Amino acid sequence: MTLDDVLNQWIPYRLQAIETLQFAWKWMGESDQPRQVDVIVDGKVKLRGNVAAIANPMIEVGIIHARALLEFLGLCAQDGNLNQVRKRRSDDIAVEHFSTVAKPLSIVTPSDALSAYPGPKEDAEKALVAIFEWANKGLAHLTVGVLSDKYTDQHLDIACRGIPVLLHNHLYAKLGKSVPTPPMAVPSSGP
């Protein structure tokens, strides 16, 4: 996989997963009652279940992709605070692997990330930390660990709207590019 593949396929694919997360979250919130959903392919029902059968995987995958993109930028969470990644693994692909003609791009600092949000910085920090905590404690592990805060729909919305802005500001704009349209299908090789 090349850095161009990351720019043109994998990041747009992950951003699309975040959009799908937002859609599924709103869809789940439309009713407290179970609702049936049918997935129809070529006129035939391929899956029948309740909305959660479709929406939950969309939400969970979106959170994992959101976390991956934040880490790609150089952000992490520690003790309920937004922090900067201190050490990369040798096979990680990260924002600092990209460069302009003049210099490599820089890792995004927590203050850089929070300054992009027009509202209270503590809301932005909670939103981004929520993504890490939901991904790490809620999805990637079975744990009795508690989240550092009570997160809301607003935190999810702030994070989902903010991550594309951070990628635009700290990657694509610096490279003089716009964010490409996501691929129609999953790219053929893993990230």
So where are the chain's domains?
3-172
Residue given tokens 């460069």 in the structure block = 99
Element (H, E) at 47: strand 44-50
Q: Is the pTM of this model over 0.85?
A: yes
pLDDT at 114: 97
Length of the chain as a residue count: 191
- Percent with pLDDT over 90 in the chain: 79
Phi, psi of 68 (to 5 degrees): -60, -40
Under-50 pLDDT residues of the chain? 191
**Three-class secondary structure of residue 177 per DSSP:** coil
**Residue 121: its pLDDT value, please?**
96
65-102 pLDDT, tens digit per residue, is: 999 999 999 999 999 999 999 999 999 999 999 999 89
Distance between CA 150 and CA 126 in Å, rounded? 9
Q: What is the predicted pLDDT for the residue at 191?
A: 47
- pLDDT computed for residue 138 by the predictor: 80
Integer Cα distance of 68 and 33 in angstroms:
32
